[in-house]
Amino acid sequence: MKILLLTQWFDPEPTFKGLLFAQALRNEGNEVEVLTGFPNYPGGKVYEGYKISLYQREVIDGITVHRVPLYPSHGDSAIKRIFNYASFAASSTILGLLKTRGVDIIYSYHPPLTTSLAAVLLGMFKRVPFVVDIQDLWPDTLSATGMVNNKKVLRVVDRLCSFVYRNAAKIVVLSPGFKNRLIEKGVSENKVEVIYNWCDEEVFLKPSFCDIKLPDNGNLNVVFAGNLGFAQGLSSIVGAAKELEVRNVPVNIVFVGDGVSKLSAIDLVEDDCLENVFFLPRVPMNQVGNILNSADVLLVHLTDNDLFSITIPSKTQAYLAVGKPIVMAVNGDASDLILAAKAGIVSEANCSKSLADAVEKMTLLSSSERNVMALNAREFYKKQLSLAHGVKKFMKLFNEVTHK
């Protein structure tokens, strides 16, 4: 079949279901084309080698990519963000009609919602079904993150989401919690399919050399890598480190990365004169896997939020793929996944004592017991979460939709 991938972000931008996904679908015997914008994410500036024009066609490893104009922006301005989303929706609808031919099915990656609105229109005009892949539950996410607080605007977004859901042939979600939330909104259970995300296997399973080293003081290194923002609840992690130091637990809590909460976390560590917390700088994505492979234990932590309890942080898949014991301090679906994989120990979200208990329990296990968790993690990822497994599920879904 001929599959059109409609996504606002695509390689060379950092994106989840980008070129690797397109190549994997192509390798299944499909013809794959991409409808996307000119690369500008996440900085809001057009990448070197590109210039916004009315239309540009390029071929990346045999994949035809149609690039359409958009207003480049990804800052804090709500107005500019709206222009960014709306401009891509308009141009992708018009140029998608003019430049794409013989499409059997449209796959739409959401967020933003506007991409799916373009998919609805393209599907109607071309008389082909479309599948929407929901990575963020709008308007819930907009409200929870504070991006939009106006209740009238949120109601409009909610109605637009319902419009997309009604017209989609199938809806793909990343967790059982997402599926349950959509069913509560009135979406038919048969219309929603859970397909777990995978990680960038090229990055995490074949990492580049990294000269950043973890502490070498004989303690177990528990590594938290990635964005150090408000949602990650760093103060609770530091609180757990303080508790562990009081208990004389031989463990290092190692933060790798950057974010808006990093400085305040450093202040907390300095105020308490903690000697078991370390901050390492952000490293290029292709080197992160090297650090993860050097860790003894990997930590996932988010604040206690209803929305977070039905999501699965993207680092979960990466941590499972590299094969390390995991301390999962996220309530709900993410903890359920780790328990199902038998790949670690779970903790309450945003609770320093619970996290300290989980970390201490991990240190009391023998190295062979932790190694079993590591092997379980890698095997679970391969069988349940890998790119190959996900693509098989997508192909089954696409065939079902097109045959209908």
User: Which residues, at least 6 apart from 134, have a Cβ–Cβ distance to it below 8 Å?
Assistant: 110, 171, 172, 173, 174, 178, 182
Same domain, 298 and 178: no
Closest CA to 384 of 208, 175, 91: 175
Same domain, 284 and 167: no
Q: What is the model's pLDDT at position 204?
A: 82
**Runs of H (alpha helix) within 214-366:** 234-246, 262-271, 285-294, 315-322, 333-341, 352-364
Q: Are strands 192-194 and 63-68 parallel, antiparallel or unpaired?
A: unpaired
Compute the mean pLDDT over every residue in the chain, rounded to the nearest whole number.
93
Q: What domain range includes position 269?
A: 203-385
Same domain, 231 and 117: no
The pTM of this model reads 0.88
Q: What is the model's pLDDT at position 145?
A: 62
Q: Are strands 56-60 and 192-194 parallel, antiparallel or unpaired?
A: unpaired
Q: Assess whether pLDDT exceeds 70 at residue 48.
A: yes
User: Residue 388's CB: how many other CB atoms inside 10 A?
Assistant: 12
Q: Assess whether pLDDT exceeds 90 at residue 137.
A: no
Is residue 20 helix, strand or coil? helix
Same domain, 179 and 227: no
Q: What is the model's pLDDT at position 210?
A: 79
Is residue 319 helix, strand or coil? helix
Q: What is the model's pLDDT at position 212?
A: 85
**What is the DSSP secondary structure assignment for residue 383, as one 8-state letter?**
I
Q: Assess whether pLDDT exceeds 90 at residue 201.
A: no
Q: What is the model's pLDDT at position 146?
A: 63
The mean pLDDT of 191-213, rounded to a whole number, is 87
Q: Assess whether pLDDT exceeds 70 at residue 144.
A: no
Same domain, 149 and 210: no
Higher per-residue pLDDT: 55 or 111:
55
Same domain, 249 and 340: yes
Q: Assess whether pLDDT exceeds 70 at residue 282.
A: yes
> pLDDT, tens digit, for every residue of 361-390?
999 999 999 999 999 999 999 999 999 999
Same domain, 184 and 213: no
CATH number at residue 107: 3.40.50.2000
Same domain, 145 and 227: no
Same domain, 112 and 180: yes
Q: Helix 262-271 vs helix 234-246: angle between axes, to the nearest 10 degrees?
A: 20
User: Residue 146's CB: how many other CB atoms inside 10 A?
Assistant: 8
Q: Assess whether pLDDT exceeds 90 at residue 133.
A: yes
Same domain, 372 and 229: yes
The mean pLDDT of 156-176, rounded to a whole number, is 93
Q: Assess whether pLDDT exceeds 70 at residue 253.
A: yes
Integer Cα distance of 337 and 254 in angstroms: 24
Same domain, 188 and 250: no
Name the pLDDT band for 141 (thresholds 50, 70, 90).
confident
Q: Assess whether pLDDT exceeds 80 at residue 147.
A: no
The mean pLDDT of 224-233, rounded to a whole number, is 91
State what percent of residues in the chain have pLDDT above 90.
78
Same domain, 132 and 280: no
Integer Cα distance of 126 and 104 in angstroms: 9
Integer Cα distance of 318 and 359 in angstroms: 20
Domain count of the fold of the chain: 2
Q: Assess whether pLDDT exceeds 90 at residue 151.
A: no
Q: Which of 38-47, 75-84, 384-393 has the highest mean pLDDT?
A: 384-393
Q: Are strands 105-110 and 130-134 parallel, antiparallel or unpaired?
A: parallel
**What is the DSSP secondary structure assignment for residue 17, as one 8-state letter?**
S
Q: What is the model's pLDDT at position 203?
A: 80
> pLDDT, tens digit, for every residue of 319-359?
999 999 999 999 999 999 999 999 999 999 999 999 999 99
Q: What is the residue whose two structure tokens read 């509560």?
A: 184
